[in-house]
Chains A and B, each alone.
Chain A
Amino acid sequence: NAGVTQTPKFQVLKTGQSMTLQCAQDMNHNSMYWYRQDPGMGLRLIYYSASEGTTDKGEVPNGYNVSRLNKREFSLRLESAAPSQTSVYFCASSDGTHQPQHFGDGTRLSIL
């Protein structure tokens, strides 16, 4: 029973490099979310997808793009990584639109 699976778990990038964080859920949830968590800042919403085919900006979308590939998968892309994007990234999913119910284990991303 996998729940929400994120890959990779760790990544180190150089400034200006690009990468895509992958997220998949096997609970047939409609909504999926991407958050970042920085020390002392709590969880901040980057983007969310209320249903397959839709995406919306959250609190801190600048520098990121997302794709809801199908109902299971929701990816987060950094086109040109910056040191300010060093963070722990969590993907989550839920039946409804408002409260994430299940989180992935997170991706720890460092940008040098």
Chain B
Amino acid sequence: QKEVEQNSGPLSVPEGAIASLNCTYSDRGSQSFFWYRQYSGKSPELIMSIYSNGDKEDGRFTAQLNKASQYVSLLIRDSQPSDSATYLCAAPPNSGNTPLVFGKGTRLSVIA
């Protein structure tokens, strides 16, 4: 069973809209979750982390965690064409004290 699942997209939203990116994970014991942004041809960059149920806001970005339902979301308000990228969700693996497992990523396209 894949540990972190994401819809590969592409997700297309108009400029100014809210983009909603979703991720599900298999380990109920996971305590921390991370979102990375990767522009085409570039390396990933860490943009958000969330450790507890509820919302965490950072500028136009909001991470949402629901441990009971085992999903984590990233909302991007007032989406801009510069937000067009692939967004990778990551969580600790099911077993062992080892680094994060990444989802395959969701490609977001913001249309001007």
User: Which residues of A approach B to under 8 Å, CB–CB?
Assistant: 31, 33, 40-45, 48, 56, 58-59, 90, 97-106
Contact = CB atoms under 8 A, between A and B. Distances in A.
A101 B105 CA distance: 17
Nearest to B41: A106
B104 A104 contact: no
21 contacts: A40-B104, A41-B104, A42-B102, A42-B104, A43-B102, A44-B102, A48-B98, A59-B101, A90-B44, A97-B98, A98-B99, A99-B46, A99-B49, A99-B90, A99-B99, A99-B100, A100-B44, A100-B46, A103-B45, A104-B43, A105-B42
Which of the listed residues A31, A43, A104 has the most CB atoms from chain B within 10 Å of its own CB? Answer: A43
A54 B99 CA distance: 14
Interface of B: 8, 32, 34, 42-46, 49, 88, 90, 92, 97-105
A42 B46 contact: no
Contacts of B32: 98-99
Contacts of B8: 40
A44 B93 CA distance: 12
